[in-house]
């Protein structure tokens, strides 16, 4: 089964800003590493059709500013694509993803996690689109010019600029990612968007009450847009008691989303390299076949697995890009 993973934070590790204290130097992307969760050998071993690489400015924001660090992260992604010898290829459309699938390469789709890099300027969104960005996470946990993230104080949602960004994303063909939005921000995005919305790395709040997870009604509403909820492997998003955060429990989240919103509303978004592993969920990019085998044992058929692992993300990409 080929895999579309909707979110990883590996670009930070590639510029020497890994979460792992022991990983002080920039990661060698082309060698299997003992630390971290994503490198090219493990992407290939895991059957990745497409890995979404998030450009995340960091928390707290670096002195150079969100726009500059996003530019640097995009340069880094372009660099590893060029040096891969065709093993990793840039993907900006479903047609390019289909070409990568035909060639056996791993597709690399660029996203932004946190619209603070736009610095209140729609021109910067167009700039990043020209550079290959095809998904935008409106906020990180903090507040920015687009709206209130999930950990920011207040009861507001999207700003007027955030609504402008939604309209421009629709015009350009950029997927809107609502992970990290406050509940009110998600409410506003659902009301303002006519296109599919995705939560690129979020789980079910019913199974783990972490504030970053989604309520059942939110999952249903995202499904109604034609979008999807992509489950992640973060142990404390899978189960509040991290000792119980098993792959079986992650499968429970997948099955709940299917019961609530249908098989078309679920996907994968690991959040690899965005957390320190502390429980036996999906351990790294090479471990997706283990989840596939588990879901087969639970009765998922071939067609449903194809939608969950790849097809639903492809449908959203095609729909948003028209």
pLDDT at 243: 85
pLDDT at 279: 72
Residue 267, helix vs strand vs coil: strand
pLDDT digits (tens, 9 = 90+) for 172-197: 999 999 999 999 999 999 999 999 99
Distances in Å between the alpha carbon of 111 and those of 13, 22, 37, 62, 287? 16, 27, 18, 19, 23
pTM, full prediction:
0.97
pLDDT at 75: 98
Structure token digits, residue 265? 């509303």
Residue with tokens 């919305």: 197
pLDDT at 37: 96
Would you give the end-to-end CA distance of the chain in angstroms? 26
Dihedral class, residue 202 (left if φ above 0, else alpha if ψ from -120 to 50, else beta):
beta
Whether domain 3-321 has CATH 1.20.1530.20: the reply is no
pLDDT at 242: 87
d(C-alpha 159, C-alpha 178), whole Å: 14
Reported in sequence order, the residue ranges of the chain that DSSP labels E, i.e. its strands, are: 3-8, 48-56, 88-90, 106-113, 133-137, 175-177, 197-199, 228-231, 266-268
Residue spans of the domains in the chain: they are 3-321
Residue numbers in the chain where pLDDT is lower than 50: none
pLDDT at 280: 79
């Amino acid at each position: 089964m080929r895999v579309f993973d909707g979110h990883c934070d590996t670009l930070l590790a590639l510029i020497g800003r890994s979460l792992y204290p022991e990983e002080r130097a920039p990661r060698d992307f082309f060698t299997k590493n003992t630390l971290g969760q994503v490198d090219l050998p493990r992407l290939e071993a895991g059957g990745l059709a497409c890995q979404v690489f998030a450009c995340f400015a960091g928390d707290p924001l670096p002195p150079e500013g969100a726009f500059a660090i996003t530019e640097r992260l995009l340069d880094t992604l372009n660099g590893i694509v060029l040096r891969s010898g065709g093993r990793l290829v840039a993907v900006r459309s479903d047609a390019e993803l289909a070409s990568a699938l035909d060639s056996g390469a791993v597709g690399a789709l660029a996203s932004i996690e946190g619209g603070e890099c736009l610095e209140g300027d729609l021109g910067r969104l167009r700039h990043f689109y020209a550079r290959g960005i095809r998904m935008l996470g409106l906020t990180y946990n903090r507040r920015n010019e687009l709206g209130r993230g999930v950990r920011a104080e207040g009861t507001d949602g999207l700003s007027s600029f955030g609504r402008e960004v939604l309209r421009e994303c629709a015009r350009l063909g950029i997927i809107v990612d609502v992970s990290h939005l406050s509940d009110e921000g998600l409410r506003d995005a659902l009301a303002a968007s006519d296109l599919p919305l995705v939560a690129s790395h979020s789980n079910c709040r019913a199974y783990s009450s972490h504030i970053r997870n989604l309520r059942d009604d939110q999952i249903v509403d995202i499904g109604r847009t034609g979008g999807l909820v992509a489950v992640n492997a973060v142990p404390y998003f899978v189960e509040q008691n991290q000792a119980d955060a098993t792959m079986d429990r992650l499968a429970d989240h997948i099955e709940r989303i299917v019961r609530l919103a249908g098989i078309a509303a679920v996907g994968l978004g690991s959040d690899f390299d965005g957390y320190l592993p502390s429980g036996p969920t999906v351990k790294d990019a090479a471990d997706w076949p283990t989840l596939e085998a588990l879901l087969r044992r639970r009765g998922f058929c071939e067609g449903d697995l194809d939608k969950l692992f790849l097809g639903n993300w492809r449908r959203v990409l095609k729909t948003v890009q028209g």
